[in-house]
Amino acid sequence: MPWLTSAQALALLGTKPQTLYANVSRGRIRARPDPADPRRSLYHGEDVRRLAARPAGRRASGAIAAEAIRWGDPVLASAVSTIAGGQLYYRGRDAATLAAAATLEDTAALLWGVPGPLHLGRPVDSVAPGVVPSLSTALAVLAAHIGADAPTIGRSQADLTDEAARVLDIVAATLAPGPADQPLHRRLALVWDRPEAGDALRRALVLLADHELNASTFACRVAVSTGAPLSAAVLSGLATLTGPLHGGAWRAVRAAVAQTAGDEQAVRDYFSEGRAIAGFGHALYPDGDVRAEALFESFEIPAPYAAVRKVGEEIFGDRVNVDFALAALTSAHRLPDDAPLVVFAVARTVGWLAHAVEQAVGGSLIRPRARYVGPPPELPA
């Protein structure tokens, strides 16, 4: 992926430098330091050309809305989290700093706006004792609850928050069964028989608890905007999370490591075939995914992953993201193959529920219009 200098980007865009910088801050154009001169920046060529191809002049509201769907301007008001200046904030608090000592329960209390830490571990009758932890089980149990759970319309925030804790208990019981008096990171470490991984898992859970209006969170908010129960909202989020461009991005990282065994020349050959993987770069973090850097502080990166990281960052010009870090963490502590998705799901359930309650209390029906591009309608004569 070619990178452009400031002069090249401005020549293509035909704008002032201030406009270029504004597009970078809004996530429309990715940027990174110039390896030859760190005081200068390079700009992602594809992003620049996409913006340069837009028609000049005032754009129609439909075009603006369409662009906003894909890494564009904010489209919903939320007090839950934001990404600003390359940092992730939970209700104004730096998530990376929070992850140094907080638990997911602490983070849930912060994101839900309740006195903390949150106390979980209530019995879940719908989960049979000894059930094998899996995402499929979580999906099935949540689906079974939807018919009996109350709609979210007209309920108080306190009532919804109490139900959110019950829904989180359901997810925890299906993905991290264990002693009710243990925090979720220790429950995961125990169920996987890796107690030494507890602190790294704690940090990962906090860092992944929320991420503004990502695809799964948007699905959650759409569901609850119809009045659907919180269990349905989380079910929507879990289903969306399974996609390879969202919660499944770590699989491509693991495949690259498996096929190259960390040999640097093999890695170069692998990537030279055009196999760009989702483990590098993030449109909202032009200087690098802060979640990945914070997670790397808690474990030693295995040599094969370190080699893929080194060569990949050199070739793509992008630093590794949290999907790469999750795959490396799984290898470092010999966790189950699906551990990245399980960690992601447990953590993000906290954020989904924060957004779902916020949407239920102060939002309205989310119902965008489609920009029709099919055959012309057959109008009456």
Is 289 among the residues known to form the active site? no
Q: Which two tokens stand for residue 260?
A: 């190259």
User: Of the residues 282, 289, 318, 333, which is catalytic?
Assistant: 282
User: Of the residues 211, 323, 333, 355, which is catalytic?
Assistant: 323
The answer to whether the bond into 304 is cis (omega within 30° of 0) is: no
Q: What share of the chain is helix, strand, coil (3-state, %, to 5)?
A: 50, 5, 40
Quick check: 80 and 359 in contact, CB under 8 A? no
Closest CA to 236 of 352, 126, 145, 343: 352
Sheet with 87-90: list strands edge to edge.
81-84, 87-90, 93-94
Angstrom distance (rounded) from CA 126 to CA 191 = 19
How many Cα atoms sit within 13 Å of 106 on the Cβ side? Answer: 14
Strands 3-4 and 31-34, bridge-based pairing:
unpaired
Closest CA to 291 of 96, 70, 112: 96
Identify the DSSP state of 197: G
Is 263 among the residues known to form the active site? no
Catalytic residues, which ones?
A: 282, 323
